Structure formats: C-alpha cells, structure tokens
Amino acid sequence: MEHHPYITLNDDTEITYSDIKTDEHGNEYVTVYFETPVPNGFHSMQVDYPKGIPEKIVGYSQQEIKSLMHHYDKVGHNAFEFAKEK
C-alpha cells in the first residue's frame, strides 16, 4: 500500500494518505498518516477517514494528538477525494 504525500507542516510533520481501501462491509476509506521526525526516530499516528479515530499512536502527547486531529479534520475529505482519483 502506497503513501501519497499531502503536506508537510512547519514542524516537519508529514501528512500522507493511502490508496482507497474497503472494509468488511464494503465501505471505502483512506488512512491518513502523520509522522514527525524526532532525534531518535519518528512520532507517528494514523487515522482512517471517515471514521476519525486515532490509532497506532507512537510518541505523541495528548495535546499533540488534539492538534493533529485538527489537521485531520481539514485534510481527511480531500485525501479521500484525491485517493479516489488515483
């Protein structure tokens, strides 16, 4: 599964998204990925759109998750639409 670039934020957090996926009920979705470089690796998180539940969170604080979810709210729909065009 490929990650497609969406945007890089001022703190070097990269937001990428997956190809279209289909769940067990036939519903289409994309996974939005967040990855922030830190001295010893990366902090990361993923959120499926349109479900909107953060998963596989590594290294982010609750405040950082809240901030990233604000970005997710702005980019999720567009990432879904872009993935449908691929």
Query: What is the largest distance, in Å, between two alpha-carbon atoms of the chain?
Result: 41
Mean pLDDT of the chain: 94
The residue ranges of every structural domain in the chain are: 4-85
- Per-residue pLDDT of 48-63, as tens digits, reads 999 999 999 999 999 9
Q: Tell me the Ramachandran region of residue 75: left when phi exceeds 0, alpha when psi lies from -120 to 50, beta otherwise.
A: alpha
pTM as predicted: 0.93
Answer yes or no: are the C-beta atoms of 38 and 55 closer than 8 Å.
Answer: no
Give the Å distances, CA to CA, from 7 to 4, 40, 47, 76. 10, 22, 15, 12
Q: How high is the mean pLDDT in each 10-residue block of the chain (86 residues)?
A: 89 96 95 96 97 96 96 94 87
Preceding peptide of 50 cis, ω within 30°:
yes
Q: How far apart are CA 69 and CA 28, in angstroms?
A: 20
Q: What is the pLDDT of residue 1?
A: 60
